[in-house]
Amino acid sequence: MSPELVFPAVDLRPILPMLVIALTAGVVLVLDLLPPRERKDHLGFVSALGVVAALVVTYWMTFSTGGGELRGFRGMVVLDAYALFFNIVIGYATGLVLLLSMDYIRREGQESGEFYILVLLAALGMMLMAAAGDLIIVFLGLETMSISLYVLAGFFRTRVEAGEASMKYLLIGAFASGFFLYGIALIFGAAGTTNLDRIANAVAAGAGRDPLLVVGLGLLLVGFGFKISSVPFHMWAPDVYEGAPTSVTAFIATGSKAAAFAALLRVLLTAVRGAPADWPMLLWVVAALTMTVGNVVALAQQNLKRMLAYSSIAHVGYMLVGVVAGGAFGNGSVLFYLLVYTFTTAGAFGAILLLERAGQEAVRLDDFGGLASRHPLLAVALSVFLLSLVGIPPTAGFVGKFYLFGAAVKSGYVWLAVVGVLNSAVAAYYYLRLIVYMYMREPEGAPTVLAPSFSGALALAVALWGVVQLGVAPGPLFDLAQAAVVPLLR
């Protein structure tokens, strides 16, 4: 008598958006083997279409489920409003990166189908992190994302900096994964489970005082700290950002950061909320340091990709202000800021990657001298993105910061908000310096030329739309972000 095989009823709805991305990746993989083999444009378009489909599915699920949550795989995957909001962020990031990459990688002579597949797989990992209901799934998503990004960072094989970027990213990433995994092990030791909800129960039952859990949480925070590049775990960011292809840099800065924040917030809010550990005070210090170090070091940068790397560190600091503030308002503003930051940063990197000078990418400040008289539209677009990074109204960056610092003031962290706004004033100097170069200097030397790219222009238009629309009418999406975190706070 053989034992009867019982197939559990598998509900695929909780992974529907991810499924769309995975299927697209599969389709692109097959299409890559079919002719035409010399041009790969269509692969980029198919990938972008897949992302659009995932976005549509996400929007549809957001409005059809009405705030309910779908759990699958024995609570390992949770597709709730929170995960769906992050799917939107990640979807926009991936879509923008794909559009920006198409002509760019051909221009650099590195066009291949693998690029698009890796971007899609990274996006899959990111979405998985956002929907993880279990630390193991967080780790699974983290690795899926990271390994794809390690390869993408070194995609321009012929460049020395690309090798450095990829190697550094891999080594430091592996290091971070080690911390992360060890943290999971310790938490498992203390709580007897890796499921976030059951950890919360164990914490409520008294495991929160277990030193094992406290140390485990600390190690998890270190792992997340690496991924979001907060001080003191930020050292890899400038080198990786500089060496990676610019569109991949944009992806690392937006998508991977959003995914890491998604998992970080979910762990902090659901699993260890009852733990007596004083993590808000710890994060207060980390936030203040991250903002300050990022902005001060960015002042000295001549290479735009490095400058934006330090600026992205500073922006992580601003977002941590929202995490410290906590509550629906604070965490909602972090979610909202991630969306704002995605449009802004993808746009800024996108504008930079469309330019080249003497066959090289134009990434140095003096490459932008007098750009406004040569390419007025691009200069205007880049200026809008920079002003959004400074936080000047009526761009999205202003509203985002307004919410973040508002949350800090609301929760009584007035001085953290003061540190934040003073940092914004420092940051204004280096963002505006690029505007000075574009508008107030004459071009010198070889001309900086604009590489024609329809998909790139489309990406910039989408990013510009996002920055302006979220700046002028932020209400609906902020309400969505806030509604997404409310269920986690129960």
- What residues line the site for other proteins (CB under 8 A)? 372-373, 376, 387, 392-394, 398, 402, 405-406, 409-410, 414, 417-418, 421-422, 424-425, 428-429, 432-433, 436, 439-441, 473-475, 478-479, 482
Q: Which is nearer to other proteins, 275 or 477 (CB)?
A: 477
Question: Which residue lies nearer to other proteins by CB, 152 or 480?
Answer: 480
* The two three-digit tokens of residue 187, written as one number: 């938490």
Instruction: State the minimum distance, in angstroms, from the CB of residue 83 to other proteins.
Output: 22
Q: What HEC string does 299-329 produce?
A: CCCCEHHHHHHHHHHHHHHHHHHHHHHCHHH
Strand ranges inside 375-473, DSSP E:
448-450
Residues paired with 70 in a beta bridge: 79
Whose tokens are 């692109």? That residue is: 28
In 372-461, beta strands by DSSP E: 448-450
Q: Which is nearer to other proteins, 93 or 351 (CB)?
A: 351
Q: How many CB atoms lie within 10 A of CB 389?
A: 28
Q: How far apart are CA 282 and CA 287, in angstroms?
A: 9
Are the beta carbons of 164 and 243 closer than 8 angstroms? Answer: yes
What backbone phi and psi angles, to 5 degrees, belong to 169?
A: -60, -45
Name which of 363 and 392 has its Cβ closer to other proteins: 392
Cα angle vertex 257, ends 483, 46, to 5°? 90
Smallest distance, other proteins to C-beta of residue 85, A: 16
* Minimum distance of other proteins from residue 47's CB (angstroms): 34
Task: CB nearer to other proteins: give 41 or 479.
Answer: 479
In the bound complex, what is the minimum distance in angstroms from residue 387's beta carbon to other proteins? 7
8 cis-preceded (ω within 30 degrees of 0):
no
Cβ at position 6, least distance to other proteins in Å: 48
**Least gap, CB of 336 to other proteins (angstroms):** 11
Looking at beta carbons only, is 364 or 433 nearer to other proteins?
433
Please tell me the distance from the alpha carbon of residue 59 to that of residue 47, in angstroms, as a whole number.
18
> What is the token pair recorded at 45?
């378009």
In 3D, which of 321, 318, 297, 319 has the Cα closest to residue 309? 297
Least Å distance, CB 31 to other proteins, is 42
Q: State in angstroms the smallest separation of the CB of 392 from other proteins.
A: 6
Distance between CA atoms of residues 128 and 144, nearest Å: 9
For residue 232, say if its preceding peptide bond is cis, omega within 30 degrees of 0. Answer: yes
With CA atoms as reference, report the closest residue to 189 among 223, 209, 216.
216
Residue 421 CB, shortest distance to other proteins, in Å, is: 4
CB of 318 to other proteins, least distance (A): 13
Smaller CB distance to other proteins: residue 91 or 471?
A: 471
Shortest reach from residue 461's CB to other proteins, in Å: 16
Residues with Cβ within 8 Å of residue 489, at least 6 apart in sequence: 269, 327, 328, 331
Nearer to other proteins, 192 or 376 (CB): 376
**Cα torsion at 361, 364, 369, 371 (round to 10°)?**
40
Residue 483 Cβ vs other proteins, minimum distance, rounded to whole Å: 10
CB-wise, 163 or 327, nearer to other proteins? 327
Residue 216 or 369 having the CB closest to other proteins? 369
Distance of CA 301 to the CA centre of its chain: 22
Cβ-based nearer residue to other proteins, 18 or 387 = 387
Long-range contacts of 200-204 (CB under 8 A, 24+ apart): 200/270, 200/271, 200/272, 200/273, 200/274, 203/271, 203/272, 203/273, 203/274, 203/275, 204/274
Query: 159: helix, coil or strand?
Result: coil
Kindly tell me which of 12 and 377 has the beta carbon lying closer to other proteins. Answer: 377
Supply 481's token pair.
């972000």
Tokens matching residue 140: 């699974």
